[in-house]
């Protein structure tokens, strides 16, 4: 396995400034990750906070033992009881087969940073992955994308929940799950690893009650020895630990909402993209009502109602729910980072570009409940390249950076054009120049005879150009047919390295890579020393 860093400048302005012009956004964050003193400052802040370390450890131990977590994980859970222990944390929804590749990239990022910071600080730093099991958007997690005959095809499980429930509350339909596994494995070529991986995933499916269970067990199949601690945030045992924290967020609800709303407006005024939509009356909490997860909004009198007027609760009623039935509450995109910091001694949070964008408005929300936003680091980003693709890149003289950032479409057209002497576009341009020269006297004479004829002559030249363009396209198509094999190779490279005009990690899943390389492929990637100051890595497997 060879890993080469490449430059890949972010398209989003805020994320670009965060990485390269931090001075422009430093007021939006509590720490500059590149500041060597930031980590000691963060440690000092955490040492002044109190955490339910023992209770949290017991909850994590029970949860992870059910998932068959390795001893290294259970050891780290025990280490969390140490008053000096901190965590590096990231999270994601419980996608089928872990969802898009960037999920395992987040996990690798957490493992890498935790190991690095423990060595530097001389104190326990544990890697934690937070499953957002409370999320109820089933359509986001119920599928993977598969390369099927040269195009990416969405393959979703046939199960359709009958209510708007949290993912961790949805019991997996075993028959639908087995059928889905058969379908996705039928789309890949059989290798020496295919049979074992299929049987392993089928076994994990059978052992899972929820989609979060299936996700967690698969993560431990991919990362069995790294000490990663996985937590399903929606488990009732976790909610019990969060009771006092929900109370704090309810009491400071108006302040959190107004401050975050003001931050969003400021970002917009400064020309930054807004990925988080929020209003000043949003409560940023969900209430689980009659089996469905309902977003709360805050009324002027301080009461709370369902977003669609499903119910009305006074502040006191909501506080009593937080105290006696915290399992009926859950967090949204604004309150989840706060709850994360209440629950864990977070040394650092790792997120993708979109997450860092919305975290940029959360600093006042942290401060409203007496917290301090942790250092925020962008996750590591990878593009995986197999042997066949590597050979084709070399054969066609395509730079990996160009293919990853822009795709191979333009390179393909230039390659096809080079097979004609002179190249068809050059020949077409020469013909147009000659036509323009020959046609010029007609346009000049038409102009003398009146504006109507002048316009008609211009249109006539335009029509002639259109005919030349049509002929150029037909000639190019004939060349493409002649070099069909090479065109297919270019298209396959584009689909692999720049699918749908974006990064591989946002569309491809772990399936083809585990099928080619075995379940330890990401574990082997994690064994390399990776730094967070690189834009992107190309991994040759």
**Per residue in 361-387, pLDDT tens?**
999 999 999 999 999 999 999 999 999
Residue 467 has a pLDDT of 94
- Spatial distance between the Cα atoms of 76 and 80, rounded to a whole number of angstroms: 6
Answer yes or no: is pLDDT of 149 > 90: no
Residue 424 has a pLDDT of 74
Sequence-ordered list of residues with C-beta below 8 angstroms from that of 510, at least 6 positions apart, any chain: 97, 98, 101, 104, 222, 522
Helices within 418-503 (DSSP H only): 424-449, 451-482, 484-497
Mean pLDDT of the chain: 94
Mean pLDDT of 517-541: 96
Residue 422 has a pLDDT of 67
Q: Could you write out the DSSP letters of every residue in 331-367?
A: E-TTHHHHHHHHHS-EEEEEE-HHHHHHHTT-HHHHH
195 by Cβ neighbours in 10 Å (0-12 / 13-18 / 19+) ranks as exposed
Single out the residue of 365, 310, 300 nearest to residue 333, CA to CA: 365
Answer yes or no: is pLDDT of 165 > 90: no
**Percentage of residues in the chain having pLDDT higher than 90:** 84
How does DSSP classify residue 510?
S
Residue by residue, what is the 3-state secondary structure of 272-283? CCCCCCCCCCEE
Model pLDDT for residues 206-233, shown as the tens digit of each residue: 999 999 999 999 999 999 999 999 999 9
Residue 82 has a pLDDT of 97
Least confident of 41-45, 245-249, 360-364, 418-422: 418-422
Query: Are the beta carbons of 302 and 401 closer than 8 angstroms?
Result: no
Residue 209 has a pLDDT of 96
Answer yes or no: is pLDDT of 45 > 70: yes
What's the pLDDT band for 108 if we cut at 50, 70, 90?
very high
Residue 481 has a pLDDT of 80
For 140, phi and psi rounded to 5 degrees?
-75, -25
**Percentage of residues in the chain having pLDDT higher than 70:** 99
Place of tokens 């020269």: 437
Residue 274 has a pLDDT of 85
More confident residue, 342 or 479: 342
More confident residue, 438 or 261: 261
Residue 256 has a pLDDT of 97
Characterize the bridge pairing of strands 329-331 and 312-313: unpaired
Q: 453: which 2 tokens?
A: 């004829």
Model pLDDT for residues 56-83, shown as the tens digit of each residue: 999 999 999 999 999 999 999 999 999 9
Single out the residue of 407, 408, 466 nearest to residue 435, CA to CA: 466
- Spatial distance between the Cα atoms of 216 and 105, rounded to a whole number of angstroms: 15
Model pLDDT for residues 403-433, shown as the tens digit of each residue: 999 999 989 888 877 876 667 777 788 889 8
Sequence-ordered list of residues with C-beta below 8 angstroms from that of 150, at least 6 positions apart, any chain: 488, 491, 492, 495
- Spatial distance between the Cα atoms of 205 and 172, rounded to a whole number of angstroms: 8
Q: Model's pTM, two decimal places?
A: 0.90
Answer yes or no: is pLDDT of 41 > 90: yes
User: How would you classify residue 290: left for phi > 0, otherwise alpha for psi between -120 and 50, otherwise beta?
Assistant: left
Q: What angle do CA 162, 168, 172 make, to 5 degrees?
A: 60
Residue 33 has a pLDDT of 85
Residue 277 has a pLDDT of 86
Residue 469 has a pLDDT of 92
More confident residue, 309 or 350: 350
Residue 421 has a pLDDT of 63
Model pLDDT for residues 281-340, shown as the tens digit of each residue: 999 999 998 888 999 999 999 999 998 889 999 999 999 999 999 999 999 999 999 999
| Burial state string for 434-459 with b = 16 or more CB within 10 A and e = fewer than 16 | eeeeebeeebeebeeeeeeebeebee
Answer yes or no: is pLDDT of 25 > 80: yes
Q: How far is CA 4 from the centre of its chain?
A: 21
Query: Are the beta carbons of 214 and 185 closer than 8 angstroms?
Result: no
- Spatial distance between the Cα atoms of 217 and 202, rounded to a whole number of angstroms: 11
- Spatial distance between the Cα atoms of 329 and 312, rounded to a whole number of angstroms: 15
Residue 231 has a pLDDT of 97
């Amino acid at each position: 396995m060879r890993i080469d860093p490449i430059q890949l400048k972010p398209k989003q302005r805020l994320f670009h400034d965060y990485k390269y012009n931090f001075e422009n956004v430093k007021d939006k964050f509590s720490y500059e990750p590149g500041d060597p003193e930031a980590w000691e400052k963060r440690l000092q802040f955490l040492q002044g906070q109190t955490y339910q370390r023992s209770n949290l450890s017991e909850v994590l131990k029970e949860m992870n033992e059910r998932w068959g977590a390795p001893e290294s994980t259970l050891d780290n859970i025990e280490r969390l009881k140490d008053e000096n222990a901190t965590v590096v944390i990231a999270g994601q929804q419980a996608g089928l087969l872990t969802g898009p590749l960037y999920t395992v990239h987040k996990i690798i990022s957490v493992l890498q940073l935790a190991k690095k910071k423990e060595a530097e600080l001389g104190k326990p730093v544990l890697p934690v992955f937070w499953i957002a099991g409370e999320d109820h958007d089933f359509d986001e997690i119920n599928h993977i994308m598969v390369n099927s005959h040269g195009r990416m095809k969405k393959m979703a499980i046939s199960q359709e929940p009958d209510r708007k429930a949290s993912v961790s509350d949805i019991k997996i339909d075993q028959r639908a799950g087995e059928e889905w596994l058969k379908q996705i494995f039928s789309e890949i070529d059989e290798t020496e690893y295919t049979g074992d991986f299929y049987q392993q995933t089928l076994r994990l499916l059978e052992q899972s009650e929820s989609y979060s269970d299936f996700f967690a067990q698969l993560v431990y199949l991919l990362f069995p020895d790294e000490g990663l601690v996985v937590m399903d945030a929606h488990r009732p045992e976790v909610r019990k630990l969060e009771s006092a924290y929900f109370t704090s967020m309810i009491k400071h609800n108006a302040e959190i909402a107004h401050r975050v709303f003001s931050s969003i407006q400021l970002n917009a005024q400064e020309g930054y993209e807004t990925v988080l939509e929020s209003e000043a009356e949003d409560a940023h909490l969900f209430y689980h009502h009659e089996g469905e997860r309902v977003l709360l909004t805050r009324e002027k009198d301080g009461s709370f109602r369902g977003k669609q007027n499903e119910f009305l609760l006074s502040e006191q009623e909501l506080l009593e729910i937080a105290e006696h039935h915290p399992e009926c509450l859950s967090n949204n995109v604004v309150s989840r980072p706060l709850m994360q910091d209440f629950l864990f001694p977070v040394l650092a949070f790792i997120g993708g570009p979109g997450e860092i964008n919305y975290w940029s408005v959360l600093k006042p929300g942290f401060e409203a409940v007496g917290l301090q936003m942790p250092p925020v680091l962008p996750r590591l980003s990878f593009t995986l390249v197999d042997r066949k693709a590597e050979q084709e890149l070399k054969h066609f003289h395509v730079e990996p950076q160009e293919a990853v950032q822009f795709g191979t479409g333009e390179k393909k057209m230039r390659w096809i054009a080079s097979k004609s002497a002179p190249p068809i576009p050059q020949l077409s341009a020469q013909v147009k120049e000659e036509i323009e020269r020959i046609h010029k006297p007609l346009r000049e004479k038409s102009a003398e005879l009146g504006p109507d004829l002048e316009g008609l002559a211009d249109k006539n030249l335009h029509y002639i150009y259109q005919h030349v363009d049509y002929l150029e396209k037909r000639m190019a198509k004939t060349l493409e047919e002649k070099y069909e094999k090479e065109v297919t190779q270019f298209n396959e490279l584009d689909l692999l390295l720049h699918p749908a005009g974006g990064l591989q990690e946002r569309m491809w899943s772990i399936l083809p890579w585990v099928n080619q390389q075995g379940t330890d492929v990401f574990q082997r990637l994690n064994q390399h020393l990776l730094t967070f100051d690189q834009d992107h890595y190309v991994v040759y497997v």
